[in-house]
Homo-oligomer: A and B are copies of this chain.
């Protein structure tokens, strides 16, 4: 098995196994449950879009998703993709994740454990991090100011030591 490297030269970490078939069935059930609960309807397109996201398992902006869908399922229109991004976020299958260096909102698969992001400005790759101490400091800071934290977005933009400029 050949050693993978990222576009910037950094050795690639193994990808998370988002798309096992059991996992996919589980997500599909989650979607169906949500739709039923909301009085919404299942559709072929809706699931195809969700499935595509699951199989990609990467950070994507809306336009990127439209392009991917158009490639894999030419029959599905852009409006349908945009409409379904909203639905899938509400269904907690997708979530808004960060703003990339172009100012576009990036989506990722919903998961229950929180993480923040590091964006490599050399290769565009998005890494995740989690730091309990930072989270704790954040919480007490917000509490001291008499606010109630709803969510936060902590993105660190970096260059990469591996990058040959």
- Which of A's residues lie within 8 Å of B, judged by CB? 10, 99, 103-105, 118, 120-121, 127, 129, 131, 133-134, 137-138, 141-142, 145-162
With A99-B99, A118-B147, A147-B120 as known contacts, state yes or no: A142 contacts B156, CB within 8 Å: yes
Residue of B nearest to A133 (CB): B137
Residue of B nearest to A102 (CB): B105
The answer, among B10, B120, B131, B152, for a CB contact under 8 Å with A137, is: B131
Q: How many copies does the complex hold?
A: 2
Instruction: List 20 A-B residue pairs with CB atoms under 8 Å apart, sorted by A's residue number.
Output: A99-B153, A103-B103, A103-B104, A103-B105, A118-B145, A129-B141, A131-B137, A131-B138, A133-B133, A134-B134, A134-B137, A138-B156, A148-B160, A149-B157, A151-B156, A152-B157, A153-B153, A153-B154, A153-B155, A154-B154
